[in-house]
Amino acid sequence: MKAAWYERNGPAARVLEVGDMPAPKPGPGEVRVRMHASGVNPSDVKGRKGREPIAPRIIPHSDGAGEIDLVGDGVNHARVGERVWIWNGQWRRPFGTAAEYIVVPQEQAVALPKQVDYAAGACFGIPALTASHAVNLHGEIGGKTILVTGAGSSVGHYAVQFAKAKGARVIGTASAGRADLARQAGADFVIDYKTKDVTKVVKDLTNGKGAHGIIDMDFSSTAKLIANGAIAPHGKTVCYGSNVHGDVQISFPTMLWNSLSLQVFLVYELLSQEREAAIAQLNREIAAGHLKHAIGKRFRLDEIVAAHEAVESGEVDGNVVIDIS
């Protein structure tokens, strides 16, 4: 099979290779998926750049979509030919979705609705499930105001949609170049965080009270918003990332005297019931025909270096996807 891989950490142009290697075969309880599309996420770039490889050879990417072509013992043969999307393809294992075939436990290959194309399915594992779980952690939000930071990002774009589907009023932050994406997702108001005082605008839009909740992509900057009163008393911040890898300071007096709560999660480590709930919400929105997908740029497998560099630059509006076949 044709695959992309790296055998040491470093810059994309230096370490990523494309070539041929034997196709894997499924073991008991596993399925083999013939990949059509592979999603490239910031975590894939960080893994290739920074961490020590967990195996002599790494095929990157955890997200993807394709068709089951072979099943192992204990798996219903009726799944052969099923269109599926993949979650955690390369999480704690060496071979991910940047290849013509991947073998995964059968539960990690989820049926892809027929109305969704493979490129969109390659965005579900990390962006869509992160957004869905972040919204679910806020509980009942009908009639409440939710601030989504990075509302024009791959996760934020989905988070706005899921929050609106649950009846929330959504304020988003986005650069001028990504503001339209946030609006297309359904944001009621978009703040250009590069030119505006986000806390002031949020307070102006909420009669001085602040948002009931925050869905946050960068806690290193959002911690300041919390301290400045962008969130109302008894509000909750749900965070899935930070641009600072070290410790982030948070104002304990602000948290204490306003009875605020903070919840942080990693989408790779969702509990089974949490992942099931996120997938169920995703399927409901797909079935209703409400979910919009933002595919920013597409590449061929032999262009994987350019795909990684595009994600690394942060200049692509939407998800980066590699077409495998």
> So what's the pLDDT on residue 55?
85
Q: In this predicted model, what pLDDT tens digit does every residue of 140-154 receive, in sequence order? A: 999 999 999 999 999
Strand, coil or helix: 89: coil
| CA–CA separation, 270 and 100 (whole Å) | 27
Question: Can you give the pLDDT at residue 210?
Answer: 98
As a whole number, mean pLDDT of residues 85-99 equals 97
Packing angle, helices 219-228 and 198-205, rounded to 10:
50
In this predicted structure, the answer to whether residue 52 has a pLDDT above a threshold of 80 is no
- pLDDT of residue 96 exceeding 80: yes
Question: What are 246-292's pLDDT values in tens digits?
Answer: 899 999 999 999 999 999 999 999 999 999 999 999 999 999 888 99
% the chain with pLDDT above 70: 99
Tell me the H-state helices in 3-114: 12-15, 42-49
Q: pLDDT digits over 109-127, tens only?
A: 999 999 999 999 999 999 9
User: What are 220's two structure tokens?
Assistant: 């290193």
- Give residue 290's pLDDT: 86
Task: Place 3 in a pLDDT band, splitting at 50, 70 and 90.
Answer: very high
pLDDT over 90 for what percent of the chain?
Answer: 94
Question: For the chain, what is the mean pLDDT?
Answer: 96
pTM: 0.96
pLDDT at residue 315 is higher than 90:
no
Measured CA to CA, the distance from residue 303 to residue 71 in angstroms comes to: 30
Going by pLDDT thresholds of 50, 70 and 90, the confidence category of residue 245 is confident
